[in-house]
Amino acid sequence: MSELNYRFRDPALAQLALTHRSVGKPNNERLEFLGDALLGAIVAEMLYEVHPKASEGELSRLRAQLVNGQALAVMARELALGDGLKLGPGELKSGGFRRDSILADAFEATVAAVYLDGGFEACRETVRGLFVERIAALRRSSKDAKTRLQEWLQAKGLALPQYELIASHGEDHAKTFDVSCSVTEPLAFTAEARGGNRRAAEQDAAEAVLNRLLEQQRGA
């Protein structure tokens, strides 16, 4: 069980954040819109700080792991938000207070309620308090791009990627390296990346390939 660690000046805002649309209007849908956006920004900043070398794609991937509906429902349960939910009769009967989507929405709406009640710094501190351990845990468990690409290919019974040094530029004290990462048929895709050392360039190239493969898989 965790705690919000925020005390509302206006308890009606906290209550509105827990009012499902099945009750009628006003409900928490507008707050959810605002809270979703605030949460995205505050978690983005945390990841930006904690992962100073991560690419934009990597940061997006990490954030999606933290703020998807299922993850937010878990956090809502830890805060026992379900106990305070106001639901219409239909949702009450069918156990809406246990449903992931309703809980996740209530969590997002609560973030917006803190913002409107106490301002950005209060909201930021509250969200940071709730996410700091999760972000640290994710960081400990997160694998580098080369490892993830290798595991993805192995799981599909495909050949391992090939890394090649294409060129290096500059004087010894400020050398950069161009590296390619290729996967063979049936995927047949190559990406190139430049880095201050060969390993960093390989990681970036691997991530570019992996992102492309995941996009293809999603049918994009």
How far apart are the C-alpha atoms of 19 and 24, rounded to whole Å?
A: 9
Residue 83 is a catalytic residue: no
For a second copy, the binding residues in 8-47 under the rule CB under 8 A are 24-25, 29-30, 32-34, 36-38, 40-41, 43-45
Catalytic residue from among 36, 117, 204, 207: 36
Q: At what angle do helices 198-217 and 56-67 cross, to 10 degrees?
A: 50
How far apart are the C-alpha atoms of 61 and 151, rounded to whole Å?
A: 17
Residue 56 touching a second copy (CB under 8 A) = yes
Residue 171 is a catalytic residue: no
For a second copy, the closer of residues 25 and 93 by Cβ is 25
Contact 170, 176 (CB under 8 A): yes
Query: Interface with a second copy by CB under 8 A: which range of 96-104, 117-125, 136-144, 155-163?
Result: 117-125
For a second copy, the binding residues in 62-101 under the rule CB under 8 A are none
Query: Strand pairing of 189-195 and 162-169?
Result: unpaired
Q: What are the distances in angstroms from CA 62 to CA 55, 121, 163? A: 11, 23, 25
How far apart are the C-alpha atoms of 202 and 145, rounded to whole Å?
A: 9
Residue 156, both tokens: 């599909």
Contact track, a second copy, 121-160, x by CB under 8 A: x--x------------------------------------
* Interacting residues toward a second copy by CB under 8 A: 24-25, 29-30, 32-34, 36-38, 40-41, 43-45, 48, 54-56, 59-60, 115, 120-121, 124, 176, 194-196
